Chains A and B, each alone.
Chain A
Amino acid sequence: MKKHVISVLVENQFGVLGRVANLFSARAYNIDSLTVGETEDPGISRMTIVAVGDNNILEQIQKQLNKLIDVIKVRDLTGINLVEREALLVKINSHAASRAEIIQAIDIFKGNVVGIQKDSITTEIFGDSDKIEAFIEFIRPFGIKEMVRSGRIAIAR
């Protein structure tokens, strides 16, 4: 089982996301994360899909993706030199005693405090997935009230 990062250039039109997602579900294949946004050409969007699983099935899915008329280009970024980034927004339980330690951690992870309440701190962290994971593990003992991850975006260097 291997993690695959697949970059897909698609026509920027309604329905495309559904078509792409459908291919994964038709093969009973779970998507870890999927991000989509406009590229330098507003007519084209880039999807970054992260999926873990059997290589043969993933190869088949990539071929099927290529068959979609609205898909312009499919590239498996797995194993190549790439930059990947993810954003995290998280609301952490805090009180007077723990606040300083949490803020220090946020500083170390080069995050920003974007909200502060009597009983919580909300922060944003940006970076590769390992960094995000490490931060989450560090703050977990304090108690996570709410959390959202953006999913990965990736590009070849």
Chain B
Amino acid sequence: MSKSMTGAEILVDALIKEGTECLFGYPGGVVIPIFDVLYKRQKEIRFILARHEQGAAHMADGYARASGKVGVCLATSGPGATNLVTGIATAHMDSIPVVFITGQVNSALIGTDAFQEANIMGITQSITKHNYLVNDVKDLPRIITEAFHIAATGRPGPVLIDLPVDVSNSTLEDYSYPTEINIRGYKPSVKGHRKQITKAAEFIANSERPVIFAGGGVVISDSYKELRELAEKINAPVTTTLMALGVFPEDHELHMGMPGMHGTKVANFGLMECDLIISIGARFDDRITGDVSKFAPNAKIIHIDIDPASVSKIIKVDVPVVGDAKSVLEELIPIVAKREKNHWNDEVAGWKKEHKMFYRTDDTDEVKPQYVVERLCANLPKDSIIATEVGQNQMWAAQYYEYTYPRQLLTSGGLGTMGFGLPAAIGAQLAFPGRTVIDIAGDGSIQMNIQELATAFVERVPVKVAILNNGYLGMVRQWQDLFWDKNYSGTCLKRQVDCPDICCSPSPTCAPYVPDFVKLAESYNVLGLRCTEADKVDETIQKAMAYDGPVVMEFIVAKEENVFPMVPAGKPINEILDVEI
């Protein structure tokens, strides 16, 4: 059945047909026609007005990460579109399906430096999976269908549609939403090559010391059951990357923890000492491999990945298997020989006993940030969703919170975007109104999108924010502490113009912190709680949990606490710095 509709009407109708529950965005001149349709159809699609386009982008991203559905975000042309850029790049690096729609100036004005014009097609070319400029309203239905399809399939990623205002306003006489998709240049291979899968099974059978290295692809392909089945059948120790935390139970005897720069010693030793890495949906990021030339020197590598370009990009792979992790594992598990535990498992078990995660509690009276994370984990419901900002807060959240479900941790792993956590938490909460959603934040990164507290309040999104306030841009300060002679340059957030020129340590006479997060929260009609003592941490968390609405908890934590263990950048991952006992 076809009918006559304008471009704006088609867009909104198509979004509804694609099952979009929440549309995150911000209005502007060239998208008013779209907002007019949103007004008329507000019962069918909920529009969430962010306070900054970047916030809207991360909300759509957080919604997608938590739910597995495609997130949708709408902004105006020019500055609206450019404000999305960090959000688009964040989604791109972590393979998150989001459809971004930007308004564009009138087709006749494109390329003339018109008011609020930006060449967003060019700008986003390298940070989108694909992007479209709509020239003609008759192409719009096809483009929207394709955009959702491309965003969600294969290796997912963001797709941008740039929609000139005249196309929004022009009418298509015979609109019907396409049901078929045929893109000749886009046919992702889901099924792995049988021969390669058989070869992988042979490599596993010949391995003395195998390790499973699970990445974000396991989350995306929803293959955590298969992962566990494989691990238990071949008794291989498992390490899960930051993007995969939660896909394998952390209390499982085969679990080694997270690998890489701030990973567990067990996981890093495991990767370095093994004779076979079975990589499933991981891409050998430099934060995991350290010095690539010294990484896993004795290991053969099986690399299961849906993206052929990820295979042998960083490390030469022995058995590439291009396909969807779930589909490949389903074929691999029945043909792989059962492997009994051997000396390798004993060795790993020995490391696990010897190298437990550890932080000192006797070196300061200040509240330890790791303790706050542990207490959050102990006090929050098991199915809570945890978003993080980026920096020390992110690493402590990764190290000291125990994840039991896939999609439980939402974090900007690839791009490392400060300001991601709060809007992502809001997006996740909108996908799961009944669950507890918390943003574990630092005092630096929370300020990068703090304006979204307004969104949380007005939309009645009861996210909880836990700020670990150490007064510093802590991760950079940590590097300065360890590798740059403790020259705290540009990292002290208490620093004021009348401070001494050279200062490398916090003191009781430092100027008070701005902003006052409690007052700031209150100004947004959000509950603000400050906690300065370790024995008040539980009470603070419980108060926040009991409050029916968004809450900002500010924990004043140890100022110069560092994240350990740590592999210095560029070093092999078995050269690990750790806290002195």
Contact of A18 among B122, B150, B186, B312 (CB under 8 A): B122
Interface residue B133 (Cβ < 8 Å from any Cβ of A): yes
| New A-B pairs, 13, CB < 8 Å, besides A11-B184, A22-B125, A63-B313 | A11-B185, A14-B133, A18-B125, A19-B125, A60-B313, A64-B309, A67-B307, A68-B130, A69-B130, A69-B183, A69-B185, A70-B185, A72-B184
A-B contact count (CB 8 A): 36
Picked from B126, B130, B133, B309, the residue with its CB within 8 Å of the CB of A22 is B126
Interface string of B348-387 (1 = CB under 8 A from A): 0000000000000000000000000000000000000000
CB of A69 within 8 A of CB of B150, answer yes
Q: In this assembly, does B292 line the interface, its C-beta being within 8 Å of a C-beta of chain A?
A: no
- Contact in complex: A26, B185 (CB < 8 Å): no
Which of A22, A60, A64, A68 has a CB less than 8 Å from the CB of B185? A68
Q: In the complex the two chains form, is A15's CB within 8 Å of B308's CB? A: no
Q: Is B16 an interface residue (CB 8 A)?
A: no
Which residues in A have some Cβ–Cβ distance to B below 8 Å? 10-11, 14-15, 18-19, 22, 26, 56, 59-60, 63-64, 66-72
The 5 closest A-B pairs by CB, nearest first: A63-B309, A69-B130, A72-B185, A69-B186, A69-B185
* Shortest Cβ distance from B313 into A: residue: A60
Give Cα A127–Cα B308 distance, bound, in whole angstroms.
37
- Give 1 or 0 for each of B294-308: 1 = CB within 8 Å of chain A CB: 000000000000011
Give the residue name and chain of the A residue nearest to B183 (CB).
Answer: A69
Q: What are 22 sample pairs from A and B whose C-beta atoms fall under 8 A apart?
A: A10-B185, A11-B184, A14-B133, A18-B122, A18-B125, A19-B125, A22-B125, A22-B126, A26-B126, A59-B312, A60-B309, A63-B308, A63-B309, A63-B313, A66-B308, A66-B309, A68-B130, A69-B150, A69-B185, A70-B185, A71-B185, A72-B185
Return chain B residues, CB-CB under 8 Å to A64: 309
B125 touches A67 (CB 8 A): no
Q: Is the interface of A mostly helix, strand, loop or mixed?
A: helix
Q: Does B520 contact A (CB under 8 A)?
A: no
Residues on B with beta carbons closer than 8 Å to the beta carbon of A68:
130, 185
Measured in the bound complex, the distance between the Cα atoms of B313 and A66 in whole Å is 14
B-side interface residues toward A, CB under 8 Å? 121-122, 125-126, 129-130, 133, 150, 183-186, 307-309, 312-313
Note all chain B residues with C-beta closer than 8 A to A72.
Answer: 184-185
B533: min CB distance to chain A, Å:
51
Closest chain B CB from A89 CB (angstroms): 31
Q: Which residue of B lies closest to A14 (CB)?
A: B133
A22 to B150, CA, bound (A): 20
- List A contacts of B130 (CB < 8 A): 68-69
Inter-chain CA distance A135–B562, complex, in Å, is 67
A71 to B186, CA, bound (A): 8
Tell me the minimal C-beta distance from A131 to chain B in angstroms. Answer: 35
CB-CB under 8 A for A67 and B121, given A22-B126, A26-B126, A72-B185: no
Taken together as a complex, chains A and B put the C-alpha atoms of A49 and B111 apart, in Å, by 28
- Please report the C-alpha to C-alpha distance between residue A11 and residue B182 in the assembled complex, in whole angstroms: 13
CB distance from B153 to the nearest CB of A (A): 11
Cα separation A67 to B129 with both chains bound (whole Å): 8
Q: A11-B185, A72-B184 are in contact. Are A67 and B126 (CB under 8 A)?
A: no
Contacts of B126 in A (CB 8 A): 22, 26
Q: How far is the CB of B389 from chain A (nearest CB, A)?
A: 28
Are A15 and B313 closer than 8 Å at their CB atoms? no
CB nearest to A69 among chain B residues: B130
**What residues of A have a CB within 8 angstroms of the CB of B308 in the complex?**
63, 66
Chain B contacts for A19, CB-based, 8 A: 125
- B184's closest neighbor in chain A, by CB? A72
CB-CB under 8 A from A10, the residues of chain B are 185
Q: In the docked arrangement, what's the CA distance between A68 and B184, Å?
A: 11
The answer to whether B133 touches A15 (Cβ under 8 A) is yes
CB distance from B248 to the nearest CB of A (A): 29
Determine how close the nearest CB of chain B comes to the CB of A100; give it in whole angstroms: 51
CB-CB < 8 A to A69: which residues of B?
129-130, 150, 183, 185-186
- Complex CA distance for A84 and B150, rounded to whole angstroms: 36
Closest Cβ of chain B to A38, distance in Å, is: 16
How close is A57's CB to chain B, nearest CB, in angstroms? 10
In the assembled complex, the CB of B572 is this many whole angstroms from the nearest CB of chain A, namely 21
Query: How far apart sit A135 and B517, CA to CA, in the bound complex (Å)?
Result: 75
Residue of B nearest to A63 (CB): B309
Give the docked Cα–Cα distance between A66 and B189 (Å).
12
Distance, CA A58 to CA B133, complexed state (A): 29
Q: Which of B130, B185, B308, B313 has the most C-beta atoms of chain A within 10 angstroms of its own C-beta?
A: B185
Q: Most chain-A CB neighbours within 10 Å: which of B126, B183, B184? A: B184
A72-B121 Cα distance, complex, nearest whole Å: 20
Cα of A63 to Cα of B155 in the assembled complex, Å? 14
B residues near A22, Cβ cutoff 8 Å = 125-126
Q: Which residues of A contact B309 (CB under 8 A)?
A: 60, 63-64, 66-67
Chain A, Cβ-Cβ closest to B122: A18
A55 CB, min distance to chain B CBs, angstroms: 11
CA distance A155 to B190 in the complex (A): 31
CA distance A64 to B150 in the complex (A): 16
Instruction: Give the CA-CA distance A26 to B121 in the complex, in Å.
Output: 16
B190 to chain A, nearest CB (A): 15
Complex CA gap A18/B133 in Å reads 14
A39 to B106, CA, bound (A): 33
Q: Smallest Cβ distance from A88 to chain B, in angstroms?
A: 33
Min CB–CB distance B124 → chain A (angstroms): 11
- For A15, list chain B residues within 8 Å (CB): 121, 133
Instruction: A70 to B150: give the CA distance in the assembly, Å.
Output: 12
Bound together, the chains give a CA A10 to CA B186 distance in angstroms of: 12
Taking CB atoms, residues of chain B closer than 8 Å to A71 are: 185
- Interchain CA distance A66-B133 in the complex, whole Å: 21
> In whole Å, how far is B306's beta carbon from the nearest beta carbon of chain A?
11
Q: How far is the CB of A4 from chain B (nearest CB, A)?
A: 17
In the bound complex, CA of A67 to CA of B125 (Å): 13
Shortest Cβ distance from residue A59 to the other chain B in the assembled complex, whole angstroms = 8
A23 nearest in chain B by CB position: B126
Q: Nearest Cβ in chain B — how far from A67, in angstroms?
A: 6
CA–CA, A19 to B308, complex, Å? Answer: 19
Shortest CB distance A44–B (Å): 9
Residues of B within 8 A of A60 (CB): 309, 313
Measured CB to CB, the closest approach of chain A to B322, in angstroms, equals 10
| Distance, CA A118 to CA B183, complexed state (A) | 57
Least Cβ–Cβ distance between A40 and chain B, in angstroms: 15
Closest A residue to B311 using CB positions: A63
